[in-house]
Amino acid sequence: MKSVARALLPASLCFWVAQRFRAAIRFSSGRVLAPKNRRHFLGGVSLAASLLLTACGYHTAGHAVTLPADLRTIAVPAFINNTETYKVEQTLTAAVVRELITRTRYHVLSETSDAADATLRGTVLSAYSSPLTYDSQTGRVASVLITVNLKVVLADRHGKVLYQNPAYLFREQYEVSQEVSSFFEEDSPALDRLSRDFARTLVSNILEGF
């Protein structure tokens, strides 16, 4: 199943889609629609639901099985970085380790080990930034959007997959300072926020068995 997280769209558009979805449900209540009209209605409801799930901040998760009761230790080696973004894998890995230590009872190792009951591996598939808005007076970039795509697999010591998601997608926005000296440093807090959001979502998905 595809995972989508934090796709940034204007709140007004998400509100409009939600209103259309609720209106469609109210319209159908107590009505018997002709087959042709029923097809149009179901198509509209499906479109509205799809937009709500994929564009307005709703989450879907990957595939999982119930975690074994005897699971005690999880190894989280550094994620693989298939991009040219420097150290992005370190920030993401560290966020996941912190989240596991904070929210679970598992002993977490920072590298692969024979002592681990399961190993969580991640791969950063893409990471890039793009201008989002421009200053109307100077024409300079005013805000930037960071987008990161990852895949993760949690498998036990025998190779059995306990959780996997091949398409995590996260985005984070940050404002650009007009001070040239700080321009290249401002994506770090944004990447930190994105990493924390990803870690919270990942650990929740694993624990909730989605």
Q: Provide the residue range defining the domain that includes 97.
A: 63-208
81 and 35 within one domain: no
Contact 76, 108 (CB under 8 A): yes
Q: Global pTM?
A: 0.68
Judgement on whether residues 38 and 102 belong to the same structural domain of the protein: no
Per-residue confidence at 198, pLDDT binned at 50, 70, 90? very high
Residues 130 and 170 in one domain: yes
Q: Which one-letter DSSP state was computed for residue 84?
A: S
Whether 123 and 80 map to the same domain: the answer is yes
137 and 44 in a common domain: no
Q: Considering the domain boundaries, does residue 157 fall inside one?
A: yes
Judgement on whether residues 72 and 46 belong to the same structural domain of the protein:
no
Mean pLDDT is lowest, of 14-18, 92-96, 111-115, for 14-18
Evaluate whether residue 25 is within a structural domain.
Answer: yes
Residue 70 confidence class, pLDDT cut points 50, 70, 90? very high
pLDDT at residue 44 above 70? no
pLDDT digits (tens, 9 = 90+) for 23-38: 444 444 444 444 444 4
Give yes or no: residues 107 and 203 share one domain: yes
Angstrom distance (rounded) from CA 47 to CA 17: 9
Say if 19 falls within a structural domain.
Answer: yes
Question: Is residue 2 domain-resident?
Answer: no
Which of 52-56, 67-71, 164-168, 175-179 tops mean pLDDT?
A: 164-168
Q: What is the per-residue DSSP string for 5-61?
A: ------HHHHHHHHHHHHHHHHHHTT----HHHHHHHHHHHHHHHHHHHHHSS----
138 & 38 share domain: no
Structural domains of the chain, count:
2
The more confidently predicted of residues 189 and 119 is 119
One domain, residues 50 and 67: no
Q: Give dist(CA 34, CA 108) in Å, integer.
A: 58
Q: What is the pLDDT of residues 116-168, one digit of tens each?
A: 999 999 999 999 888 888 888 888 888 889 999 999 999 999 999 999 999 99
> Does any domain span residue 3?
no
Q: What percentage of the chain exceeds 90 in pLDDT? A: 47
| Average pLDDT for the chain | 76
